[in-house]
Amino acid sequence: MKAESNSVLSQQDAQYHLHGFTNAEKNRDEGAKVMSRGEGIYVFDEKGNKHIEALSGLWSVAVGFSEQRLIDAATRQMSVLPFYHTFVQRSHKPLIELAAKLVEMAPVPMSKAYFTNSGSEANDTAIKLVWYRANALGQPQKKKIITRNRAYHGVTLGSGSLTGMPHVHGGFDLPLPGFHHLTAPHFYREGRPGETEEAFSTRLAEELDAFIIRENPDTIGAMFAEPLIGAGGVIVPPAGYWEKTQAVLSKYDILLVADEVICGFGRTGRMFGSQYFGIRPDMMVLSKQLSSSYLPISALLINEKVYAPVAEESNRRGTFGHGLTAGGHPTAAAVALENIAIIEERGLVERAQLLGERMHSRLSILRKHPLVGEVRGVGLIAAIELVASKEDKAPYEAPGTLGMMAAEALAQRNVITRNIGDAIALCPPLIITDEELDDLLSRVEAAIDDVARRVNLV
């Protein structure tokens, strides 16, 4: 009876739900895996199978599933003020407190917090502020935006244009004009023979400088960047990268927007990725672990350099003509506040640093595995890149084949994660225990051994 119920659910799901990042034609025939509940680092499907959620859902469930304090925070707020907007100088207590908390927590001085519902919307808002500010300063040509290949910033028209992934652009007529993508800061794939990490960083900074000069510095408004590239493969920037990049941006007075959607709230072992890598952004985009994704909420922090001309321009025009109905939703804000309190009270940032050291120490052994080309990451986020040949870093048959095999082998061991091409990503909830982490890593090692046997590399 249980299996029949699950089958019906899958058929309905396939018939009526268009899934994101899914082969829509394949989904029509195969349906979807239906999850029924979550607990800690685990989720349970409709058949009762227990899975480790090794990607924290979508890089986001910091405090794990079914945290009672977040459920209670939502219930309390829903019973008092279930919704209110923030248009025309309206606000409410949870949002006032959350804005103050985020500005106070920021690793560099920030002036204001603006609230949206997703990282995509927050990045779209940041784009609009870059353009609005340029107009306010009498620089209407200063609108071009720079990002990196393999960067992920969202999928809306604006944020999708920021994202440096062909499959996000294809068929959608993206990127829009004025968005430019430069070399990904991935030393393993983009570094040249004999080149050091520092030399690679210098080359990327020179490429950035040359691009700015070629396009004219007066036409470039901002650079958007993740502290480390997350959904593009957990790419950790090479030594010297951020210092050299920021020096170029500062020379030409170009704004820096740090997309902290994945890195923020402890993932790197620091509260923000900007702290870990020494970044001094003008704007910060926050989401995912802001509420552990229990409710949709995101925030854009802006400094006074951004805010002052925006405020003056809105005064001239009579209004700041931007807003979202559910932006700064009181229940989502209340949950975000409680989520941050849990992260702070339980020392989850420090815990991520310690567990990260444990995880990377264990993963480092895999570098000797015949199938492993690179192991990378910081804190509680990592990727294992699989190759058929260590010498030339070649894939097996077609790119992504090994990654798909590994993801399937992990699924057979009840581990949910994602392959990004031939890289397997790991991003467990920050509340994972030592024993749970060891169990997860043992399953990962066994899955990679399985794949190696399938392709005759062991």
Indicate if 262 and 356 belong to the same structural domain. Answer: no
Does the pLDDT value for residue 6 go beyond 60?
no
| Tokens describing residue 339 | 């989520």
Final residue of a structural domain among 289, 317, 345: 345
Domain boundary among 314, 345, 376: 345
Q: What confidence tens digit (pLDDT) does each residue in 409-438 have?
A: 999 999 999 999 999 999 999 999 999 999
What is the span of the domain harbouring residue 447?
A: 33-66+347-454
317-325: list long-range contacts, CB under 8 Å, 24+ apart: 322/125, 322/128, 323/85, 323/86, 323/87, 324/116, 324/117, 324/121, 325/85
pLDDT greater than 90 at residue 112: yes
Residues 6+ apart with CB under 8 A from 174: 157, 160, 161, 168
Domain limit, last residue, from 345, 372, 395: 345
CA 355 to chain centre: 20
Alpha-carbon gap, residue 286 to 417, rounded angstroms: 22
Higher pLDDT, 29 or 289: 289
CATH number at 366 reads 3.90.1150.10
Q: Looking at the predicted structure, is the pLDDT value of residue 75 above 50?
A: yes
**Same structural domain, 255 and 109:** yes
Residue 27 in contact with residue 14, Cβ under 8 Å? yes
pLDDT score, position 402: 97
**Which residues face 44 on adjacent strands?**
37, 50
Q: How many domains does the chain have?
A: 2
Domain assignment present for 11: no
pLDDT band at residue 3, thresholds of 50, 70 and 90? very low
pLDDT above 50 (res 2): no
Q: Are 63 and 431 in contact (CB under 8 A)?
A: yes
Q: How far is CA 110 from CA 26, 106, 380, in A?
A: 46, 7, 27
- At what angle are helices 93-105 and 330-345 packed, to 10 degrees? 40
φ, ψ at 391 (rounded to 5°): -65, -50
The answer on pLDDT for 30 being more than 90 is no
In which region does residue 282 sit, left (phi positive, over 0), alpha (psi from -120 to 50) or beta (all else)?
A: alpha
CB burial readout 393-402, b (16+ within 10 A) else e? eebbeeebbb
What would the pLDDT profile of 379-391 be if each residue is shown by its tens digit? 999 999 999 999 9
Checking if the pLDDT of 350 tops 50, the result is: yes
Q: What is the pTM of this model?
A: 0.95
Q: How confident is the model at residue 177 (pLDDT cuts 50, 70, 90)?
A: very high
CATH of the domain at 293: 3.40.640.10
Rounded mean pLDDT, 292-311:
98
CA distance 334 to 88: 21
The two tokens of residue 97 are: 């407190």
Give the DSSP letter string of 267-304. Answer: TTSSSSHHHHHT---SEEEE-GGGTTTSS--EEEEE-H
User: By three-state DSSP, how is residue 239 classified?
Assistant: coil
Two tokens, residue 413: 């061991």
Task: Compute the mean pLDDT over every residue in the chain, rounded to the nearest whole number.
Answer: 95
Q: What is the dihedral of CA 166, 168, 172, 173, to 10 degrees?
A: -40
254 in the same domain as 366: no
Q: What is the pLDDT of residue 27?
A: 75
Q: Is 4 part of a structural domain of the chain? A: no
| Segment holding 105, helix H or strand E | helix 93-105
Give me the pLDDT at residue 7, please: 52
Report pLDDT for 9. 56
Residue 458: what pLDDT? 67
